[in-house]
């Protein structure tokens, strides 16, 4: 467990900026499924967004609160809403995120669990659910009242990221719908969001489906996200997005990244350079597996 505690910074880097590998593939025009899976993301040409694959490497590292605490250090200013509850002998975590991921506007819903007793949620390492516990999830990201993009799948980590668009988290609303496998689990989830502060009108129940409007988070946000930090990071993100938009214009993603590389190499590295961090993760992955406790 010592390795896990000392290396939690790696995941937030690649959650928000691990899109870099796929961007690079887009530049090169590579469509190999194996190479795309290596970076953990795919590209939706119709909506113009990147999204996480089902069996991406991120599935192996699970989730811990320290990931959110580390996010501002890697240019991610995002609202988070962790929803914790117990059901069926497991302690569950369903977390919602929305905001600015470096040079991307995006959102996520993740489903995690642990069988261990949760005495300190901030220090608990949750596992991503197995295939049998995946759920039907959908969400739409609204910006200034207009739909920006939407995602729907049976998944453990449903995501969407639009490269080159700048947003403040407060500008975004996430409309979600989750279908639970049992009435017991749905009831436990509803009790948890009610305890957080959600009230009828902010969520709706139909059978085992729960629709939830995620606007202003009720959960305490990471201590690392101070007003000063948020302002400085968002100035950096906004400037990069404006520069990106100026260079790429109406180009498709491949030609856009080629033009970016040619005209502004520093900005290009911000968009695609962080993919190399995955090498550091792979070097220590064996140690991670060896030290992880079997539940």
pLDDT digits (tens, 9 = 90+) for 179-202: 999 999 999 999 999 999 999 999
pLDDT band with cut points at 50, 70 and 90 for residue 291: very low
**In this prediction, what percent of the chain has a pLDDT beyond 90?**
53
Average pLDDT over residues 100-122: 92
- Check whether 279 has a pLDDT greater than 80: no
Tell me the pLDDT tens digit for each residue of 9-49: 444 444 444 444 444 444 444 444 454 456 677 888 899 88
Which range among 37-46, 75-84, 224-233, 245-254 shows the weakest confidence by mean pLDDT? 245-254
Token pair in block for residue 28: 């090169």
Per-position DSSP letters for 25-64, written without gaps between them: HHHHT---HHHHHHHTEEEETTTTEEEE-TT-GGGGT-B-
- Provide the H-helix boundaries in the chain: 2-6, 10-17, 19-28, 33-39, 65-70, 183-196, 227-248, 253-263, 265-272, 277-291
Instruction: HSE, CB side, 13 Å, CA atoms: give it for residue 237.
Output: 29
Spatial distance between the Cα atoms of 237 and 265, rounded to a whole number of angstroms: 16
How far does CA 223 lie from the centroid of its chain? Answer: 19
Spatial distance between the Cα atoms of 113 and 129, rounded to a whole number of angstroms: 6
- Structural domain count, the chain: 1
Tell me the pLDDT tens digit for each residue of 53-65: 898 878 888 998 9
β-pairing, 203-206 vs 209-214, is: antiparallel
Which range among 1-10, 82-91, 186-195, 203-212 shows the weakest confidence by mean pLDDT? 1-10
264 to 18, 260, 267, 269, 270: CA distances (angstroms): 20, 6, 5, 9, 10
For 82, the domain range is 2-291
Per the prediction, the chain carries an average pLDDT of 80
Which range among 17-31, 187-201, 216-230, 260-274 shows the weakest confidence by mean pLDDT? 17-31
Token pair in block for residue 133: 């516990």
Spatial distance between the Cα atoms of 94 and 295, rounded to a whole number of angstroms: 19
């Amino acid at each position: 467990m010592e390795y896990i505690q000392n290396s939690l910074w790696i995941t937030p880097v690649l959650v928000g900026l691990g899109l870099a590998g796929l961007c690079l593939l887009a530049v090169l025009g590579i469509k190999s499924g194996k190479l795309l899976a290596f970076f953990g993301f795919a590209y939706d040409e119709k909506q113009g967004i990147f999204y996480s694959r089902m069996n991406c490497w991120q599935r192996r590292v699970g989730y811990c609160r320290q990931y959110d605490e580390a996010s501002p250090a890697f240019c991610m200013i995002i609202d988070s809403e962790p929803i914790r509850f117990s059901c069926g002998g497991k302690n569950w975590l369903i977390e919602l995120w929305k905001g600015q991921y470096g040079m991307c506007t995006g959102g996520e819903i993740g489903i995690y669990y642990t069988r261990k007793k949760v005495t300190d949620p901030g220090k608990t390492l949750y596992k991503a659910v197995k295939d049998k516990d995946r759920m039907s999830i959908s969400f739409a990201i609204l910006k200034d009242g207009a739909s920006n993009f939407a995602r729907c799948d049976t998944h453990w980590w449903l995501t969407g990221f639009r490269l080159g668009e700048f947003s403040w988290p407060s500008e975004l609303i996430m409309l979600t719908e989750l279908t639970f496998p049992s009435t017991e689990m749905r009831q436990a989830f509803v009790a948890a969001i009610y305890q957080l502060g959600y009230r009828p009108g902010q969520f709706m129940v139909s059978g085992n489906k729960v629709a939830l409007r995620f606007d202003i988070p009720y959960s305490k946000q990471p201590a690392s996200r101070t007003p000063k930090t948020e302002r400085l990071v968002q100035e950096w993100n906004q400037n990069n997005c404006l520069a990106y938009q100026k260079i790429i214009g109406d180009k498709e993603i491949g030609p856009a990244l080629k033009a970016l590389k040619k005209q502004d190499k520093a900005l290009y590295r911000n968009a695609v350079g962080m993919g190399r961090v995955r090498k550091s993760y792979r070097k220590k992955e064996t140690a991670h597996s060896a030290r992880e406790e079997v539940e």
